[in-house]
Amino acid sequence: MSDACKSCSSAGSCSPQDKAACGEKSEAEKELEKVLSRIKHKIVVLSGKGGVGKSTVAANIAMSLARAGKKVGLLDVDVHGPSIPRLLSLKGQHPNVDDNMIEPVAYAKNLWVMSTGFLLPSDDEAVVWRGPVKIGVIRQFIQNVAWGDLDFLVVDCPPGTGDEPLTVLQLLGEESKAVVVTTPHMLAVDDVRRSITFVGLVGATVLGIVENMSGFVCPDCGKTHEIFKSGAGEKLSLETGAPFLGRIPFDPELARAGDEGFNYLTVYPESETAKSVEKIIAPILALDA
- Which residues of the shown chain bind ligand ADP in the complex (CB under 6 A)? 47, 50-56, 83, 212-213, 248, 250-251, 254-255, 258
Which residue number, 54 or 70, has a Cβ lying nearer to ligand ADP? 54
Evaluate whether 73 touches 150 at the Cβ level (below 8 Å). Answer: yes
Q: Can you spell out the DSSP letters for 147-187? A: --SEEEEEEEPPSSSSHHHHHHHHHH-TT-EEEEEE-SSGG
In the complex with ligand ADP, the residue whose CB is nearer, 73 or 249, is 249
Residue 207 Cβ, how far from ligand ADP at the closest point, in Å? 18
CB of 119 to ligand ADP, least distance (A): 19
| Chain residue at closest Cβ approach to ligand ADP | 258
CB of 264 to ligand ADP, least distance (A): 9
CA pair distance 166, 203, nearest whole angstrom? 11
Q: C-beta of 58: minimal distance to ligand ADP in Å?
A: 8
DSSP 73-108: EEEE--TTS--HHHHTT-TT----EETTEEPPEEEE
Identity of the residue, 51 or 136, whose beta carbon is nearer to ligand ADP in the bound complex: 51
- Supply the minimum distance, in Å, between the C-beta of residue 219 and ligand ADP: 11
> What is the smallest separation between the CB atom of 100 and ligand ADP, expressed in angstroms?
31
How crowded is residue 228: how many other Cβ atoms within 10 Å of its Cβ? Answer: 14
Q: Where are the alpha helices (DSSP H) in the chain?
A: 3-6, 16-21, 27-37, 54-67, 84-87, 131-143, 163-172, 189-201, 232-240, 252-260, 264-267, 272-286
Beta bridge partners of 105: 113
